[in-house]
Structure 1
Amino acid sequence: MPPRRKLSDLDRGRAIGWLQDGVAARQLAQMLAVAPSVIIRLKQRFHAIGRVQERQRSGRPRVTTQRKDRFIQRQTMQQRAWCTQHVRWQRQQWAQVLFTDESRFCLEPADGRIRVWRRRGERFAEGAVLERQRFGGGSVIVWGGISTRLRTPLYHVVGNLTGVRYQNEILQPLVVPALQAIGPRAILQDDNAPPHRSAAVNTFIQQARVNRMLWPANSPDLNPIEHMWDELCRRVQQHLPPPANLGQLLQWLQQEWNGVPRALICNLIHSMRQRCVECLAHNGGHTRY
């Protein structure tokens, strides 16, 4: 049985008595079936305030710490400042931006539910209910970039993406040519993931004269490529039967990535002004996007 984390008022009083009689805190913790830290905190509180009862708390315990609250406040301030700077951008300005990101796609659903792939009208058909062995599940990570003028190839990221790999496998062969195709005023958008902001990557960005957009931390609702991932997921789920292995999943992801209509991508990027408007309306907080 795991040790308890709390003591009743009666046990607290008994524990203080035993401590005053010379019983060691670790021995007392074993006697009362609690962690030694419980006894140590009880002893410290008794010496500090002279009582064993915990102070009365009002309402539910806090979900976030004060440090987390300060982080959230800084984050909303950054989002608000970024949206204030970009809310007046016109479509031709957003057309210069290459929005990029990585995303993970799982062979098996992550929620533990059982799904049945079937066509409309086949709900009770015996042939539509077939258990399939998916070879242990797993997932693939892909990287992609979109703009109103082009989309990059969908790149399969194998293993951990480091700063050096991000430079050698993505920035040099994929991002730089895409930015050159967009035009001399092209802008790279990528988030603040550690590989994207490594010293090696920052040096390469400067040497390659890449115009990089400052991006507020933890702001996926501002990035239109997030909806591109949702669209990609829906398209893959329409395949019947579902992918049997990771190789087939990757093949379908790349196929559907190339099949997403350009008009849909343009609509996503054209929503940037409204995203900024809603972010400001929510004082830098989350939006419906």
Structure 2
Amino acid sequence: MPPRKKLSDLDAGRAIGWLQDGVAARQVAQRLAVAPSVIIRLKQRFHATGRVQERQHSGRPRVTTQREDRFIQRQAMQQRMATANIRQRLQATTNTVVEWSDDPKPLTQLWLACKASSPRNNPDCKSPSSSPSLVHSTCEAATSEVGSGVVYR
């Protein structure tokens, strides 16, 4: 399922203005080409907080996209011992900067289970404060070669 389309602050303000002028939420959604649930949520947030901006979210911002994550996983599964090649291909195709660390865990442990579970339930996931070498969110990844790991920034 693709991620939700986020309204810009300008569009959110326009939507609230239209809603206050008496335009139905469905019509506002059609004008902005979004789902009606987006407008309903925006309206509820505006009535609760008086603001149209989303609140800040905790955690480290993502650097790699979901597509880049899948690329890394696919390459790691196809060529389990070719970490340097994976790093070079990722840099060549996406211009994502990849640096080395000293984490001996295999790169194949970067599976989605690490992202889906909380750090308490999965020992391979660590909170950003407890680990100096971080992948874009909360999971650490490394190579199958002992002593050379990969850190994505």
TM-score range, shorter chain: 0.3 to 0.5
Higher Cα Rg: structure 1 or 2?
A: 1
Scaled by the length of structure 2, the TM-score of the pair is 0.37
Scaled by the length of structure 1, the TM-score of the pair is 0.21
